[in-house]
Amino acid sequence: EIVLTQSPGTLSLSPGERATLSCRASQRVSGTYLAWYQQKFGQAPRLLIHGASRRATGIPDRFSGSGSGTDFTLTISRLEPEDVAVYYCQQYGSVPGTFGQGTKVAIK
Amino acid sequence: EVQLVETGGNLVQPGGSLRLSCVVSGFDVNDSYMNWVRQAPGKGPEWVSVIYTGGSTWSADSVKGRFIISRDSSQNTVYLQMNSLGVDDTAIYYCARSFGLLSHFDYWGQGTQVTVSS
């Protein structure tokens, strides 16, 4: 199965700063079958991005995704206090679909 | 409004069984791929099982032969029967909708806690 490694483990930034989260796959991800989720404390994951770069319904445009092959990136262009959460990537190009271990985003 | 509400989580001894339920409103479970996804403490989510629109099912190797996913269209509910539970099955179990076996998950329930411990 494909292993996803996310970095950094924790990202601590000031409001308004740009956050760049990385997701690296152990093998090439078929197509652009990569999604990103946001999980706030005590809540279920929420879909942000699918198809590597397509924002889900209702997601603010400060969230963007890019990448292909084995390297993918989630960018939050201007960090807001409500963006404090753990972010997970998921590949669904091969069975079984797998998730990364998460990147925690905190506000300074 | 779409809602998925899971129930049935509990503390159970190793070797025991539990049945989880996911009541869905806002769409028909027969027209969707319905999944169970679990998340152990401090870990990323892990896909567990899926039931297709046609009724076929598929499970992760870690639960194959022990967990059974099913649905009741009259109740618009999806179930997960979990047998021979081990401590590694301790997790929050989420019900989630997808568009196939190879798909992202667009709607999630709030989860139900399963703890396996003696």
A104: burial class by Cβ within 10 Å (0-12, 13-18, 19+)? middle
| Chain B residues touching residue A99 (CB < 8 angstroms) | 44-47
Q: Render pLDDT for B48-77 as a digit per residue (tens, 0 to 9).
A: 999 999 999 999 999 999 999 999 999 999
pLDDT average, residue stretch B82-91: 98
Q: Is A9 on the interface with B (CB under 8 A)?
A: no
Residue B21: predicted pLDDT: 98
Report the SS3 class of residue A91: strand
Residue B101: predicted pLDDT: 83
Q: Render pLDDT for B31-54 as a digit per residue (tens, 0 to 9).
A: 999 999 999 999 999 999 999 999
> Which residue from A minimizes the CA distance to B100?
A92
Instruction: For residue B113, give the nearest of B87, B83, B90, B82 by alpha carbon.
Output: B90
| Chain A residues touching residue B62 (CB < 8 angstroms) | none
Q: Is A55 on the interface with B (CB under 8 A)?
A: no
pLDDT average, residue stretch B11-21: 98
- Residue B78, φ and ψ in degrees, nearest 5: -115, 145
Averaged confidence pLDDT in chain B: 96
**Long-range contacts from B79-83, C-beta under 8 angstroms, 24+ separation:** B79/B19, B79/B20, B79/B21, B79/B22, B80/B19, B80/B20, B80/B22, B80/B36, B80/B48, B80/B49, B81/B17, B81/B18, B81/B19, B82/B17, B82/B18, B82/B19, B82/B20, B82/B114, B83/B17
Q: Nearest CA of chain B to the CA of A102: how many Å? A: 6
